[in-house]
Amino acid sequence: MSQQTPFSTWNNRFLPTDVEGFDSLAELALDLRWSWNHATDEVWRQLDPALWELTQNPWVVLQTVSRDKLQRALANPAFSKNVDDLLQTRHQEATAPAWFQQRYPQSPLKCVAYFSMEFMLSEALPIYSGGLGNVAGDQLKAASDLGVPVVAVGLLYQQGYFRQVIDKDGAQQALYPYNDPGQLPIAPLRHPNGEWLRLEIVLPGYSVWLRAWEVQVGSVKLYLLDSNDAANFPAHRGITSELYGGGPELRLKQEMLLGIGGWRLLDALGIQPEVCHLNEGHAAFAILERARTFMNETGQPFQVALAVTRSGNLFTTHTAVTAGFDRFAPALIEQYLGRYAQDKLGITVHDLLALGRQNPNDSSESFNMAYLAIRGSGAVNGVSRLHGQVSRRIFTPLFPHWPEDEVPIGHVTNGVHMPSWDSAPADDLWTGACGKERWLGTTENLGQDIRRVCDTTLWQFRTAASKSLVEYARQRLSQQLIVSDDTPEAINGAKHLFSPNALTLGFARRFATYKRPNLLLHDRDRLLRILTNPQHPVQLIIAGKAHPADQGGQALIQEWVRFIRQPEMRPHVIFLSDYDMLLTEHLVQGVDVWINTPRRPWEACGTSGMKVLVNGGINLSELDGWWAEAYNPEVGWALGDGQEHGEDPAWDAVEANALYDLLEQEVIPEFYTRNDSGIPTAWIKRMRESMAQLTPRFSATHSVREYIEQHYLPAATAYRDRTANNGEVGKQIVDWQHTLQDKWALLRFGEIKVVSDAQGHTFTVEVFFGSLDPKSVRVELYANGVNGGNRSRQEMKRGQPLTTGNGYIFNTQVSATRPATEYTVRIIPYCDGVAIPLEDTRILWQR
């Protein structure tokens, strides 16, 4: 980058920058690699053990510790050497070629820009809500481990997502503590002359100034924008106040700042990504700004710029129901983006709205951000195999007359960043079996290595994990009861709840009705009998938040809390409030069984259950999301029949009883059936297979590698090709599409003949093109898949020309394994390098 490129600096007048060695500590504290590589933990613990335990935030520790204590610590040769060694290791790792550089030394991929509304990286940076942020944060960490050239873009929220308190009535109360930027492990982006990098975004009648921040995530940088700039009016300073707060107008402003502002920030930094990865549709306006930037650079019109740049855009959808997509009223889009469309993109408001509508001419239809993301991307994927199928069904209306299984949406199943979620003992176990570098490249051999660990070692490991979780749960619950002003007897009793030797079930996630968090409460007497069996005791930990506007979800929380507060239940079930990243870590590291009960197929992926894998926990889950492709009888337990039943209360009752049956007849007996050494051998066998088969497969390392191979590398190549010669390929694509639009109606079929014999079926069809060039389309013979089998799709060869109507004979032969009546002829658009039907949805079927 040039000398004028902005850079980050943490320097301010309140920090003891004159203390020798402070710079080194600041560099370590501002690299969030400490959130998964705990080599620096002892440094912060030595500076302030109490504050470190409370905050797990090195930057807070470093700013809070006194100058005298800092000088004494740095004067200690052992402490100083440790800091120097850590810094040297960091610099060596930053310069050494990682997996990506070794695997793809001549890669066309130089930069991926990853846009997301939220990022779950550390409790020290609370700018996340749940699953979407979890995926974003874990993929950034895995990209850092693998050396993938990624920069990320998000928003810095003044309050972030809400914090939860349960009141005396068992109701959820939402609190919004302020995120003081000075206390967060982030740094302002400044020009070399010290000026803070600020961006101006013009909204109707006023400008909003955005401040830019940098977060170091290992080798990856995350850039955050916020509107809390002194130059803004008070109302505009609050645009980035809350994650998922406010109404549609505030959400639209946030998404404009993320998409348009985020792309402008990259441009200001001199970063020119080949690939733009949209983690859900919130950031889809980046598609428009990327096209605008190309227009300014080349002078090409918007249609050409979009045809060029979309090849480098990837859209990942996380939503399993149509109601989950962000939609905005047409008047709101016109108010906030009308001038932008006309003055910056050179298109009408109607054309802009068409990008976000199923029917471009329906003036009442709202603007769907997912539709914009699809129409502006060169590839689209869901986040599990089942979710890919669900997404194809959801988006079928955008591809009229195309079979559902040809709707162009694939899948890359999510994974979790195992080093972020494993306990220290789990790390030791895996290191001993598989080596320290196990998550830094390929993971194919990890399963066979972990299978060599003996039963005794695995059981000792799990016993210690259970003890650690029980100690943490007691401490957290007692603090929770103090905050809610409970009785001294209840507070003291919390310190003695649970046994490290009992079977511990965990259920923690967002409380929403489709997740059916109260399925276990269907038959309360039966649940009570399960939990209070003196021979085979079971204990249950519940956690989760409901969105402040979701009254139904909050009612489910209150139902659980009131159930737990019954005297007979208190020793067996606890609800831990304020479900956050730190609580998640402790739960997934210690529970024996992780339960998940969503209503299929509404769980797009559900990564929470993946986090227990590395820690030896076992899943009991609905056959939905990732578990639908992960489950087999060796690795866990499955709930449901793998079918969809909607919101049928009768089916909920069936599955609730099936859940009780599984617990009573399989899970509990297997846990308590021990050999002479006191080891549950069948349990350990299942646990070992879960660790061996599933942990490598559902790691973020695996999913990021899939993104690289399936999407990033092809997109970088396609983008390079389309940007060549001032976007000449994009102009050719637009000209081809205009020709199709003008002449498609002239296409028609003539006579179709089928000759069948023992060799197969020979199809011959006449196709008349009018004035359309036959090379601009493809004639295919097609048959639907049967009983889950693959569809048949075969190109027909062009043969003799016909004497009239610019017609030709097309023919092909297929085997006689299927009747000829199952085949039909169709015509689809064709242009080299163009993704059909994603980039052109036309299709003509033989009638």
Residue 448 has pLDDT above 90, yes or no: yes
Distance CA 289, CA 301 (A): 13
Domain presence at residue 816: yes
Between residues 126 and 192, the one the model is more confident about:
126
Residues 6+ apart with CB under 8 A from 635: 618, 619, 686, 689, 690, 693, 694
Looking at the fold, whether 476 and 355 belong to one and the same domain comes out as no
Q: Enumerate helices (H) and strands (E) in the chain, giving the number of each.
A: 31, 29
Q: Which of 63, 95, 127 is the last residue of a domain?
A: 95
Looking at the fold, whether 377 and 489 belong to one and the same domain comes out as no
Question: Taking Cα atoms as reference points, which of 541, 515, 536 lies closest to residue 663?
Answer: 536
CATH number at residue 790: 2.60.40
Strand (E) or helix (H) holding 682:
helix 681-694
Joined together, the tokens standing for residue 684 give 């350990």
Terminal alpha carbon distance of the chain: 59
Question: Concatenated DSSP letters for 336-380?
Answer: HHHHIIIIII---HHHHHHTT-SSTT-TTSPEEHHHHHHHT-SEE
Distance CA 441, CA 809 (A): 52
pLDDT digits over 706-751, tens only? 999 999 999 999 999 999 999 999 999 999 999 999 999 999 999 9
φ/ψ of residue 508, rounded to 5? -145, 125
What is the per-residue pLDDT for 14? 63
- Produce one character per residue of 695-733: b if its CB has 16 or more CB atoms within 10 Å, e if not: bbbbbbbbbbbbbbebbbbbbbbbbeebbeeebebbbbb
- Answer whether 739's CB lies under 8 Å from 139's CB: no
- Answer whether 174's CB lies under 8 Å from 553's CB: no
Q: Which amino acid is at 394?
A: I
Percent of the residues in the chain that have a pLDDT greater than 90, as a whole number: 89
Question: Taking Cα atoms as reference points, which of 185, 170, 201, 173 lies closest to residue 33?
Answer: 185
Domain presence at residue 287: yes
Looking at the fold, whether 151 and 264 belong to one and the same domain comes out as yes
Domain presence at residue 446: no
Between residues 841 and 2, the one the model is more confident about:
841
What is the per-residue pLDDT for 334? 97
What pLDDT band is residue 160 in, cutting at 50, 70 and 90? confident
What pLDDT band is residue 778 in, cutting at 50, 70 and 90? very high
For 74, the domain range is 7-95
**The dihedral sign for the CA sequence 441, 443, 448, 449:** positive
Residue 292 has pLDDT above 50, yes or no: yes
Sheet holding 844-845, edge to edge: 792-795, 777-783, 824-829, 844-845
Residue 19 has pLDDT above 90, yes or no: no
Domain presence at residue 429: no
Percent of the residues in the chain that have a pLDDT greater than 70, as a whole number: 98
pLDDT digits over 554-589, tens only? 999 999 999 999 999 989 999 999 999 999 999 999
Domain presence at residue 734: no
Residue 10 has pLDDT above 70, yes or no: no
Domain presence at residue 322: yes
Q: Which of 376, 411, 446 is the last residue of a domain?
A: 411
What is the per-residue pLDDT for 789? 74
For residue 453, the SS3 value is coil
358-362: average pLDDT: 95
pLDDT digits over 586-629, tens only? 999 999 999 999 999 999 999 999 999 999 999 999 999 999 99
Q: Which of 392, 411, 430 is the last residue of a domain?
A: 411
Distances (CA, A) of 91 to 1, 21, 359: 20, 16, 54
Joined together, the tokens standing for residue 681 give 């051998």
Residue 8 has pLDDT above 60, yes or no: no
Question: Taking Cα atoms as reference points, which of 253, 178, 184 lies closest to residue 214?
Answer: 184
Looking at the fold, whether 661 and 769 belong to one and the same domain comes out as no
pLDDT digits over 92-127, tens only? 988 999 999 999 999 999 999 999 999 999 999 999
Domain presence at residue 451: no
- Answer whether 326's CB lies under 8 Å from 251's CB: yes
Distance CA 472, CA 740 (A): 65
Looking at the fold, whether 377 and 517 belong to one and the same domain comes out as no
Joined together, the tokens standing for residue 389 give 């199928």
Looking at the fold, whether 146 and 38 belong to one and the same domain comes out as no
Distances (CA, A) of 610 to 543, 546, 752: 17, 22, 53
**The dihedral sign for the CA sequence 295, 298, 299, 305:** negative
Question: Residue 780: beta bridge partners?
Answer: 795, 826
When mean pLDDT is compared across 323-337, 435-449, 761-775, the lowest value belongs to 435-449
Looking at the fold, whether 536 and 674 belong to one and the same domain comes out as yes
Residues 6+ apart with CB under 8 A from 478: 491, 492, 494, 495
For residue 546, the SS3 value is coil
pLDDT digits over 202-254, tens only? 999 899 999 999 999 999 999 999 999 999 999 999 999 999 988 999 999 99
Residue 785 has pLDDT above 70, yes or no: yes
Looking at the fold, whether 302 and 370 belong to one and the same domain comes out as yes
Residue 396 has pLDDT above 90, yes or no: yes
Distance CA 586, CA 123 (A): 13
φ/ψ of residue 540, rounded to 5? -130, 130
334-358: average pLDDT: 97
Distance CA 548, CA 554 (A): 8
Question: Is 422 buried (19+), middle (13-18) or exposed (0-12) by CB count in 10 A?
Answer: buried
Looking at the fold, whether 502 and 367 belong to one and the same domain comes out as no
Mean pLDDT: which of 14-28, 62-76, 826-840 is highest?
Answer: 826-840
φ/ψ of residue 373, rounded to 5? -60, -40
Residues 6+ apart with CB under 8 A from 377: 278, 287, 310, 313, 314, 315, 838
Residue the block writes with tokens 């004497």: 803
CA dihedral 513, 515, 517, 521 (to 10 degrees): 80
Looking at the fold, whether 117 and 205 belong to one and the same domain comes out as yes
Q: Which amino acid is at 815?
A: S
752-766: average pLDDT: 94
pLDDT digits over 25-75, tens only? 999 999 999 999 999 999 999 999 999 999 999 999 999 999 999 999 999
Residue 11 has pLDDT above 80, yes or no: no
Kindly state the DSSP code that residue 210 receives in the 8-state scheme: E
Looking at the fold, whether 126 and 166 belong to one and the same domain comes out as yes
Question: Residue 761: beta bridge partners?
Answer: 756, 814
- Answer whether 109's CB lies under 8 Å from 713's CB: yes
For residue 800, the SS3 value is strand
388-416: average pLDDT: 97
Joined together, the tokens standing for residue 431 give 């290191």
Using N-to-C axis directions, what is the helix angle for 67-75 and 22-29, rounded to 10°?
100
What's the number of domains the chain is made of?
A: 4
Domain presence at residue 721: no
Strand (E) or helix (H) holding 670:
helix 668-672
What pLDDT band is residue 13 in, cutting at 50, 70 and 90? low
CATH number at residue 649: 3.40.50.2000
Cα-trace Rg, the chain: 29
Joined together, the tokens standing for residue 245 give 């707060």
Looking at the fold, whether 91 and 143 belong to one and the same domain comes out as no
What is the per-residue pLDDT for 761? 96
What is the per-residue pLDDT for 12? 55
φ/ψ of residue 341, rounded to 5? -65, -45
* Planar angle of CA 545, 593, 562, nearest 5 degrees: 40
Distance CA 583, CA 596 (A): 17
